[in-house]
């Protein structure tokens, strides 16, 4: 049987940082129970030899015959809602979700915020936060196929300056933390969910110029004991099981 294709939509600007996050995605896939059944394809909007406009998200899903999508983080800010690139991204995301209503979609950080904006939620700017945080599941988390595997909560990496301040229409809260009320959300009926956190963060982030200072305080043990890789592996398993052929 042919592998199921997952499209990783990379919206990072800094190539070194983007590659570090992508490496974490690859590592999590390799540790998942479905790694031999999934094929991960990457498209980049802001760096690399071949760049795509975010307005073309639906076309890219179609061209690559993708059956699931992961929306990466970004240095862009959804709170700057009038920014032309943000508008292009939201247009492309909206069209993709309209054209592929049953496709599983997982949003990370910026992807989480973009989904909130698209579904009539709201994001806002606050002081930058980076490091490992304790994430507390909501009472609804036990019904979600990924969050139900972490009933005691998560210790997971965050790196962001925007956050969701109003849960979008047709979504419910999955998790919160002491500094951010909306750490994760899921759609009521569609296979869409997102997290403010970065489960793809690995110790490699300490060698990235733009992130080095924020993460230098953490030891190898901190990265080895955090829940990000296990969580992201569960996301891949959820995606595999959610794909309808």
DSSP-derived secondary structure for 29-77: HHHSTTGGGEEEEEEESSSSSSB--GGGHHHHHHHTT-SEEEE---SS-
Predicted local distance difference test score (pLDDT) of residue 9: 98
> What is the model's pLDDT at position 165?
95
Catalytic residue (choose from 112, 187, 198, 240): 198
Give mean pLDDT, residues 18-40.
97
Range of the domain at 237: 4-242
Q: Is 163 a catalytic residue?
A: no
Cβ atoms < 10 Å from Cβ of 121: 21
CA–CA distance, 141 with 174 (Å, rounded to integer): 5
pLDDT at residue 245, rounded to an integer: 74
pLDDT at 73: 97
Domain tally, the chain: 1
Structure tokens at 77: 């800010």
> What's the count of helices (H) and strands (E) in the chain, helices before strands?
7, 9
In sequence order, the 6+-apart residues with CB closer than 8 A to the CB of 82 are none
Rounded distance, CA 43 to CA 65, Å? 13
Specify whether the CB–CB gap between 72 and 108 falls below 8 A: yes
* Confidence category of residue 183, pLDDT binned at 50, 70, 90: very high
Residue 101: which CATH number? 3.40.50.880
Query: Which structure tokens are listed for 195?
Result: 């997290």
The answer, yes or no, to whether residue 60 has pLDDT greater than 90, is yes
pLDDT of residue 127: 84
The verdict on whether 198 is a catalytic residue reads yes
User: From the candidates 133, 200, 211, 237, which is the catalytic residue?
Assistant: 200
Encode pLDDT of 70-86 as tens digits.
999 999 999 999 999 99
Helix (H, G, I), strand (E, B) or coil at 243: coil
Percent of the chain with pLDDT over 70: 100
If pLDDT is split at 50, 70 and 90, which confidence band does 100 have? very high
pLDDT confidence of residue 49: 87
State the pLDDT confidence band at 43, using cuts at 50, 70 and 90. very high
Asked whether 94 and 145 are in contact (CB, 8 A), the reply is: no
The residue whose two tokens read 């996050």 is 21
Residue 210 has pLDDT above 80, yes or no: no
pLDDT higher than 80, residue 114: yes
- What length does the chain have? 245
200 is annotated as an active-site residue:
yes
The whole-angstrom separation of Cα 211 and Cα 20 is: 10
Residue 40 has pLDDT above 80, yes or no: yes
The average pLDDT across 20-35 equals: 97
């Amino acid at each position: 049987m042919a592998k199921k294709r997952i499209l990783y939509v990379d919206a990072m600007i800094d190539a070194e940082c983007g590659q570090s996050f992508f490496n974490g995605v690859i590592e999590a896939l390799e540790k998942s129970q479905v790694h031999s059944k999934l094929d991960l394809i990457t498209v980049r909007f802001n760096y690399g030899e071949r760049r795509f406009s975010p307005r073309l998200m639906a076309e890219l899903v179609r061209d690559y015959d993708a059956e699931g999508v992961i929306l990466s983080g970004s240095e862009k800010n959804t709170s700057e809602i009038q920014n032309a690139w943000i508008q292009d991204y939201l247009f492309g995301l909206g069209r993709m979700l309209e054209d592929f209503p049953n496709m599983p979609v997982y949003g990370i950080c910026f992807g989480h915020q973009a989904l909130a904006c698209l579904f009539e939620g709201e994001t806002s700017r606050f002081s930058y936060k980076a490091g490992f945080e304790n994430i507390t599941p909501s009472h609804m988390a036990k019904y979600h196929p990924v969050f139900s595997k972490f009933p005691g909560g998560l210790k997971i990496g965050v790196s962001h300056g925007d956050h969701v301040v109003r849960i979008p229409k047709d979504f419910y809260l999955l998790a919160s933390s002491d500094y951010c009320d909306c750490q994760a959300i899921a759609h009521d009926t569609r296979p869409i969910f997102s997290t403010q956190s970065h489960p793809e963060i690995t110790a490699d982030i300490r060698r990235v110029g733009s992130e080095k200072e924020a993460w230098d305080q953490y030891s190898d043990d901190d990265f080895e004991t955090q829940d990000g890789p296990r969580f992201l592996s569960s996301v891949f398993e959820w995606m595999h099981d959610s794909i309808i052929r």
